Structures are given as C-alpha cells and as structure tokens.
C-alpha cells in the first residue's frame, strides 16, 4: 500500500502544481523526478549535521560524488519541469497559474520558481502518503476502529459520486481517526528548528538565550504521558466531543500539543490541502474496498527516518465492496 499511496499523492500534486500528472498510477512506478525527490530528501538529512559543524565549502568537498550527482539530477529535473510549464498555455488553473498571476515586483523570479518546485512536490505528496500509510496500518490493527469507521462512511453516502470535499466534512469519526493517526505516526518526524530572538525568551517557564536553536520533537511530544492518556494506544475517541462530554478518560489530554504541521506564521503552507486530500482518499478507499493486513506487516512502524519516514512495504488485501 505504501507505494500505491505514494503514486496517488504524487500524481495529484503533479496535476495541481503543473497541470499534468506524473502518471505513477498509470505506469505502476515512480517518475524519474519523483525518485530524485526521494533521494534529495534523504541526502539533505545526511548532510545537515555537517553543515552545523563545518564551513559549507568544506562540506561540499566532503560530499560523495554520487550524492552530488543526485542533487544535480534533481535540480535539472525541477528546472525542466518549471520551464515546460512556463512555455505551456492551459485553460485549467494550477499552482503556477496563481504564481504567474501575482508575479509583480514582489513575485518569484524564474530561479526562485525552479528552487521551489522541488519543495512543492516533496511537501505536497510524501507527507500525505506517509500519513495515509500510518492510517491504514493502525486502522487494520484495531478491528473495532475499522468497523466503526467503515460503517460511518458506508452509511453516509448513496454512491461513489456523492463523495467529495464538502460531503466528507460531516464524518466526525473519520476526523477523529485521522487525528489519532497524525498523533501516532506524524508524517514528518524531523524537527523544525527556530532561533530564539534578540533578548532571549522564556520557553515553558525556562529562560533561553538569544540565538539558541530550539525545536519540538513531534514523535516524543505526541507519545508523552504528560500530554496524552495511554499515548501508545490508538484511541480515536479522544478526539470526539461526545467522549469528552460523557466521561473523564481523556480529560487530562493536552490536545493543543498535536501540531504535526508546525505552528505559527511559518507552519505548513499546504496544511489545508493535505487535510482535504487525506480525508478524500481515505473515504474513497473505505467506500470501495474492504481491507485486511497480510502477513509480513507486523511491527510496520519500526522504521528509519531521514527527515521523512523510510516506509517499509505494507502488505494489504483489498476486496471490492458490493454496494
């Protein structure tokens, strides 16, 4: 499932950003540029610690030629993708339609567009696919949650065509399950450091000197007993208003801690898109298919991370639902 979910989100972001799909689903494989994005993300994670300790020119000398070639491939692929879009007229709006529409003296230069193309694709695809992979795994390892969510989705629509962004807003249990999936399996386990401003600042009651790099470890914060009741258990009910009103089981949960898209003016630009996309894909999946976990996917969560998860294969059996 991990690959198929990645194919789906890459195709969607390609269509939204550049007006054309990467055709990963059609070709049942990754587009070359998508492969370069994966390699580039891992490379960045490996190089970053050295950039914090050594001068940039020295890091450049130490980087293996293979990694340099990966970065070069990604740069030229991003450049070609942007140039192709700039040279092509389209009647259907995409991201670049709006970037070009507001391309005044404060707009992006072509070089900036090329530099941001990689980020748009990586941030708008991999994170959503990771969340959905984690959602599938936790859903299928918690049968009671699976049944309740399937019943909610299949009891809320007449047909597949009636499932859209507006109609899925009423699915309260879907929202709760996805929130719990974000808590248990944050799609970006890396931290987003910030520098303490001039004069220093108090953080959680402790004074921190100016210029200090600070960050919150999402995974640790989301699994801390000080923030959540039974933090290692998948309990979507903690996000339901009805549960909070009827009992005190989750009364001590500090739900504001769940900020997987970061927080403040520099939080994730694509937060709303990601929320809409994952809800729509999840609903379509459970409307159309029964799912069951196959052998070999036990302990799937035990993964390495290089800024994003290095997801293992998630073997799932899909059986079409007869409505």
Which two structure tokens, joined as six digits, stand for 87? 């040279």
In angstroms, what CA-CA distances link 211 with 64, 145, 194, 225, 262? 31, 45, 9, 30, 20
Phi/psi of residue 203, nearest 5 degrees = -120, 115
Spatial contact of 176 and 239, defined as CB atoms under 8 Å apart: yes
Is residue 19 left, alpha or beta, with left meaning phi > 0 and alpha meaning psi from -120 to 50?
Answer: left
Nearest Cα to Cα of residue 192 among 116, 122, 263, 134: 263
Spatial contact of 186 and 274, defined as CB atoms under 8 Å apart: no
Which two structure tokens, joined as six digits, stand for 269? 């630009």
Angle between helices 65-86 and 2-18 (to 10 degrees): 40
* Annotated binding residues: 268
* Annotated binding residues for heme: 268
Question: Where does 89-196 have alpha helices with state H?
Answer: 95-101, 110-123, 126-140, 143-154, 172-184
Query: What is the DSSP code (8-state) at residue 214?
Result: E
The SS3 call for residue 104 is: coil
List beta partners, residue 291: 318
């Amino acid at each position: 499932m991990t690959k198929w979910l990645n194919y789906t989100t890459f195709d969607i972001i390609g269509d939204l950003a550049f007006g054309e799909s990467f055709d990963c689903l059609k070709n049942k494989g990754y587009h070359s540029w998508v492969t370069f994005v994966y390699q580039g993300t891992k490379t960045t994670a490996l190089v970053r610690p050295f950039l914090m300790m050594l001068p940039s020119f020295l890091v450049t000398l130490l980087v293996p030629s293979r990694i340099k070639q990966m970065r070069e491939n990604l740069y030229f692929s991003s450049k070609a993708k942007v140039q192709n879009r700039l040279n092509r007229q389209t009647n259907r709006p995409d991201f670049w339609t709006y970037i070009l529409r507001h391309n005044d003296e404060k707009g992006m230069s072509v070089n900036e567009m090329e530099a941001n193309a990689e980020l748009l694709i990586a941030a708008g695809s991999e994170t959503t696919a990771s969340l959905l992979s984690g959602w599938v795994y936790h859903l299928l390892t918690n049968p009671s949650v699976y049944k309740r969510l399937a019943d909610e989705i299949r009891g809320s629509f007449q047909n597949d065509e009636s499932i859209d962004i507006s109609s899925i807003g009423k699915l309260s249990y879907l929202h709760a399950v996805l929130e719990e999936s974000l808590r248990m399996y944050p799609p970006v386990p890396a931290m987003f450091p910030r520098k303490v401003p001039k004069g220093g600042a108090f953080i959680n009651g402790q004074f921190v000197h100016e210029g200090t790099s600070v960050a919150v470890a999402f995974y640790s914060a989301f699994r801390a007993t000080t923030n959540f009741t039974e933090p290692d258990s998948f309990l979507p009910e903690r996000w339901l208003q009805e549960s909070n009103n009827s009992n005190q089981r989750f009364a001590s949960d500090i739900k504001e801690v769940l900020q997987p898209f970061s927080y403040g003016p520099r939080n994730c630009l694509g937060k709303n898109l990601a929320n809409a996309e994952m809800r729509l894909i999840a609903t379509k999946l459970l409307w159309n298919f029964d799912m069951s976990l196959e052998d070999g996917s036990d302990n799937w969560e035990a993964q390495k991370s290089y800024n994003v998860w290095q997801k293992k294969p998630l073997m799932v059996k899909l059986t079409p639902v007869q409505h």
